Structure 1
Amino acid sequence: MEFYHSDDNNKLRHVINWIVDIVVVIAFAWFLVYSLGTQIVIAGHSMYPLLSSDDVVLMDRLAYDFGHPGRFDVVVFQREDRKMNVKRVIGLPGETVQIKNEEIYIDGEKLKQPAGLGRVSLAGLAEKPVKLGEEEYFLLGDNRDSSEDSRFANIGNVSSSQIQGKVWFRMLPLVKMELIRSK
């Protein structure tokens, strides 16, 4: 009789271990999807040639929980009208950004931009020096002539609380699948 009771305990332990394993796997999968798998669909051509309209990218929600956006990071931010946008970080907190003669200046020094990021024909608000606060960033689209970004009053300087995460991977279209790196 005791042997039968022990066998039931083993079966119960086996079932409990199996349930715990399933719960752990589901929790881990949820964590990965929540932190690294948030899908963003690109609308418009403001990040062309890096990203095109209808591309699907993944955002890392945790990227800035333990750090801060760096210059040239591609980030997702929430506008005042609650829409999500994707732009590139140009100006960092405490810096002064100005656009003159189609060039970007940070604290009076011409910004050396990575290849592929063009001139800025429309300076907008940055025609005069724009001083960034301690939690503010100046964001631009890569397609400078077709981007609604920090140069315009409806976007302006973007606070760190508006930045939702970092774009790290293009999922779709499949033929253009790749890691998205800061330049």
Structure 2
Amino acid sequence: MAEKKSEFWGWIRAIIVAVIVTLVIQTFVITSFVVSGESMEPTTYNGERFIVNKLSYRLGEPERFDLIVFKADENADYIKRVIGLPGDTIRYEDDVLYVNDEAVPEPFLEEVVAANGSDWAYTEDYELSGEVPEGYVFVLGDNRNNSLDSRRIGPVKMDDIIGKVGLRFWPLNKMGFME
């Protein structure tokens, strides 16, 4: 009887330790994120699931073209692409991104822009008034004509960034690390 009681308490301790370790990892290291909507197509699609690295920006700064998840408001987290960093000037003209008045290629969009032809602007002309403020990033969805992003909500505070998108784990046939 004492042996069964000891085994029972051993299992309880193991479960408690596992729950604590899981909570610590989800609070400080990684979390999962489910894409909701079409704003990042063709890079990500509604319902896809990702692991988000919460440590990446505690140890470093966002880089241009990183995919990030950030707190958009009390009820919603968004996935977007970092386009502008603090101090950058941003504009789009004739479907070309200019950062600090230099044309910057967006290789992740080349295929979809080419498929739509030259008669149609994938990204409407836009110019950020002033520079991206210190402590903020300028983000866009890859589906430029169907994205609620910095063009409407303004630059995103770095403190609101949850983390960098890392591994796509659903659907299984698309599993892999995001670039």
TM-score relative to the length of structure 2: 0.77
Q: Name the counterpart of 2:107.
A: 114
| Match of residue 136 from structure 2 | 136
Deviations 1:82-121 (A, max 9, x none): 4100000010011111112221111111112224354643
SS in 2 for 1:105: strand
Identity %: 34
**Aligned: 1:43 with 2:36:** yes
Q: 1:20 to 1:54 in 2, by over 3 A?
A: closer
Change beyond 3 A, Cα 1:65–1:171: same
> Do structure 1's residue 101 and structure 2's residue 94 form an aligned pair?
yes
Q: Distance in 1 between matches of 2:165 and 2:123?
A: 26
Number of aligned residue pairs:
165
The 3-state SS of whatever aligns with 2:134 is: coil
Q: TM-score if structure 1 supplies the norm length?
A: 0.76
**Partner residue in 2 for 1:88:** 81
Residue 134 of structure 1 and its aligned partner are, at CA, apart by 0.9
After TM superposition, the structure 1 = structure 2 runs for residues 127-166 of structure 1, keeping only pairs within 5 Å, are 127=127, 129-152=129-152, 155-166=153-164
Q: Secondary structure at the match of 2:154?
A: coil
Q: Is the 8 A contact 1:38 1:60 kept in 2?
A: yes
Superposed displacement of residue 80, structure 1: 3.6
What's the offset of the Cα at 1:122? 2.0
**Contact persistence 2:69–2:79 (CA under 8 A):** yes
Residue 180 of structure 1 corresponds to: 178
Deviation at 1:66, TM superposition (A): 1.2
CA distance in 2, matches of 1:29, 1:80: 26
**In structure 1, C-alpha distance between the alignment counterparts of 2:108 and 2:167, rounded to whole Å:** 20
The residue type equivalent to 1:111 in the other structure is V
Answer yes or no: is 1:76 the counterpart of 2:74: no
> 1:52 is paired with a residue of what secondary structure?
coil
- Mark the runs of 5 or more structure 2 residues left unpaired by the alignment: 1-10, 114-120
